Amino acid sequence: MIAVSDIYDKVIELAKRRGFVWPSAEVYGAVAGFIDYGPLGAMMKRRIEEIWRHYYVIREGYYEIECPTVGAESIYIASGHVKGFADKMCQCPHCNEYFRADHLAEACGIESASHLTKEELAEVIAGAACPGCGEVFGKTEVFDFNLMFQTMIGPGSQRKGYLRPETAQGIFTDFSRLSHFYRMKLPFGAVQIGKSYRNEISPRQGMIRLREFTQAEAEIFVNPEKKRHPNFWRYADYQVDLWGIEQQQSNVDPIRKTMREAVDGGIIANEYIAYYLALTHDLLVSIGIDRSRLRFRQHLPDERAHYAIDCWDAEVLSGRFGWVETVGIADRTDYDLRAHAKESGDSMTVFVPFDEARTEKRKKIVADMGVLGPKYRGKAKKIADALAETSPGPDGAEVTVDGETIFIPGDLYALHEEEVEVRGAEVMPHVIEPSYGIDRMIYGVLEHAYDEEIVDGEERRVLRLAPCVAPVQVAVFPLVNKDGLEEIARKIASDLLEARILADYDDNGAIGRRYRRQDEIGTPFAVTIDYETKEKGTVTLRDRDSMDQVRMPADDLVAAIESLIRCRTAFADLKR
């Protein structure tokens, strides 16, 4: 077992040295919160994204869209990010430290200080002592620090733009197009994988808190009346460790529940949340997150956004950082669509037919235009329209036209009662949002895969990456560098490459050293070509984790490795 205190240093050192993750633009002095993915990291990231797509796009059928990372101001006014994503800050004039203004005010006994205006806050703070240096603040300006990067679109600073702080808004703003694409049938969803930006005040923690990061988000639009997932059966019996509100408040460990139990027991709000919670567990474990270092924590009522019905985080345990929020799964109700409907004027609804058309009785007022016309002349049409909308009293109806209230006696209109067939209603869907931090997933995978052991008195460092995420999928070695073994090995490597398996040919140095090199970057399998290959056409296939070997015909390699890297076969099964 590895000492937990320094595992981050070890993982990051390896990641840098072997080309997984680098500080961005190091030559000019790196800037905190930005990273580069090196050759192996970029490959691994792509594989993880591809697995994510398999789950959400292929299996769930939620197509991927791609929206700009720069968005016009109105999008983020509607979403609430312009107002809500800003912290009110102030700076101590004596020691120059920055503080959250509302926190200072609350320390002075003001309740819910976050609702105060900047001026009100400044007034309160003027009398407060600085927690940094102890001096009384005096006159201090309170200013907004918005976590969004701001930019200008076009010359002349005409339109403000923001780098998106999440990919979700693009899906919301495309809602009407999407609902037509899906032929107006709920539920439907769309996903997006891409960069998002947050100008963190002080990002530390390397890959964990970035200013530019990759999100994979799904927005699933559901009928608010029907929060039963059509494929719930798939995960109904799936077990997950749940750290619900109750367990957190009574300070006990997470409880293991099937999704059916969790929904029936009211721990998880609905089948959709439960379904994506289980799917997320499934996905994270399949890319190599250790299930014993994975838990799902429910947001407490006070940390949950006011509009959200329920929200769970998948948390991954890190030796350095503790439990790291890696995925968030929330039922955001119709908050986002409502906000965009209001700001944009678009309806953001879907017509949902009833199971059976309902007949409703409606009263209809039909004006007697023969009388109204001559009497009211130009106003007659408006009065008739207003009459149709009004509910009449026993002897007549009052209507208001152009600010003038007019009484129309009952004999000037006829009251019809008619039956209307109502086939459905306009529904504003609720949004179920699973949101993944790809960079945090990658770090979690690296940390959980990192292992050290002593083999023959030498330290062996190995990344036990799942075969499906390992950047290099198989290594190909000639046992020795002579007698034509190299040519055979090169041929085998190129056959594997032709089959779209990433094979790394290496003939440099002793064979043991080559195995170790591949172990360190997590290559799950290695093929060695020896003299028996020349005679019998067989090769050895070596398993990274057990260091066991099996001998097999070279002709079977492609099929065997394809099956191994899709995790259809375990290496042990190859030994028959």
Partner RNA sequence: GCAUCGAUGGUCUAGUGGCAUGACUUUGGCCUUCCAAGCCAAUAGCCCGGGUUCAAUUCCCGGUCGAUGCACCA
Shortest Å, Cβ 402 to RNA: 46
Comparing CA positions, the residue from 420, 468, 368 lying closest to residue 53 is 468
Minimum CB distance to RNA smaller for 158 or for 454: 454
Minimum CB distance to RNA smaller for 22 or for 63: 22
Minimum CB distance to RNA smaller for 61 or for 512: 512
Shortest Å, Cβ 345 to RNA: 25
Token pair in block for residue 24: 């961005």
Shortest Å, Cβ 57 to RNA: 22
Minimum CB distance to RNA smaller for 13 or for 246: 13
Are 218 and 434 contacting, i.e. CB atoms less than 8 angstroms apart?
yes
Shortest Å, Cβ 293 to RNA: 19
Shortest Å, Cβ 527 to RNA: 8
Question: Can you tell me the distance from the alpha carbon of 41 to that of 47, in angstroms, rounded to the nearest whole number?
Answer: 10
Comparing CA positions, the residue from 432, 39, 69 lying closest to residue 215 is 69
Question: Can you tell me the distance from the alpha carbon of 479 to that of 474, in angstroms, rounded to the nearest whole number?
Answer: 15
Shortest Å, Cβ 116 to RNA: 16
Shortest Å, Cβ 152 to RNA: 22
Minimum CB distance to RNA smaller for 75 or for 479: 479
The strand pairing partners of 397, in sequence order, are: 408
Comparing CA positions, the residue from 444, 439, 452 lying closest to residue 519 is 452
Residues that bind RNA in the complex, under the rule CB under 7 A = 13, 16-17, 23, 29-32, 84-85, 87, 95-100, 103, 131-132, 147, 165-166, 198, 200-202, 204-206, 209, 305, 320, 328, 435, 437, 455-456, 458-461, 479-482, 508-513, 515-517, 519-520, 528, 530-531, 539-540, 542, 547-549
Shortest Å, Cβ 42 to RNA: 18
Question: Can you tell me the distance from the alpha carbon of 324 to that of 209, in angstroms, rounded to the nearest whole number?
Answer: 10
Question: Can you tell me the distance from the alpha carbon of 277 to that of 290, in angstroms, rounded to the nearest whole number?
Answer: 16
- Cα first-last separation, the chain: 31
Are 477 and 492 contacting, i.e. CB atoms less than 8 angstroms apart?
no
Minimum CB distance to RNA smaller for 2 or for 30: 30
Token pair in block for residue 513: 């050293």
Minimum CB distance to RNA smaller for 97 or for 135: 97
Shortest Å, Cβ 29 to RNA: 3
Comparing CA positions, the residue from 64, 147, 100, 14 lying closest to residue 465 is 14
CA angle, 44 as apex, 43 and 46 as ends, to 5°?
A: 65
Minimum CB distance to RNA smaller for 111 or for 417: 111
Question: Can you tell me the distance from the alpha carbon of 149 to that of 322, in angstroms, rounded to the nearest whole number?
Answer: 29
Minimum CB distance to RNA smaller for 16 or for 260: 16
Question: Can you tell me the distance from the alpha carbon of 493 to that of 502, in angstroms, rounded to the nearest whole number?
Answer: 9
Question: Can you tell me the distance from the alpha carbon of 304 to that of 269, in angstroms, rounded to the nearest whole number?
Answer: 14
Are 398 and 390 contacting, i.e. CB atoms less than 8 angstroms apart?
yes
For residue 459, the surrounding DSSP H or E stretch is strand 458-463
The strand pairing partners of 241, in sequence order, are: 256
